Amino acid sequence: LAAFNVINMSNRFVYSVLDVTFKLTDPLLNPIRRFLPNIAGLDFSPIILFLIFGFLRNLLREFGPSLL
């Protein structure tokens, strides 16, 4: 969105929201990015992270009650 000037990066509020977003997501995405190369300039690590979260959610639904 910043590339198409939909959001203005010089706006302090927009910058602070993006800064917090990157600080929260980068620790989770960086390990995936080390193993998954960018394909045609696209970063697929968020998709992989969502798949991992879905898999873990299904595991907890299936086996979570038996752990209690």
Taking all residues of the chain, what is their mean pLDDT, rounded to a whole number? 88
Per-residue pLDDT band for 57 (boundaries 50, 70, 90) equals: very high
In the chain, the amino acid numbered 61 is R
3-state helix, strand, coil in the chain (%, to 5): 70, 5, 30
Would you say 36 and 48 are in contact if contact means Cβ atoms under 8 Å apart? yes
Going from N- to C-terminal start, the domains of the chain cover 12-67
Per-residue pLDDT band for 46 (boundaries 50, 70, 90) equals: very high
Whether 14 has a pLDDT exceeding 80, the answer reads: yes
Whether 34 has a pLDDT exceeding 80, the answer reads: yes
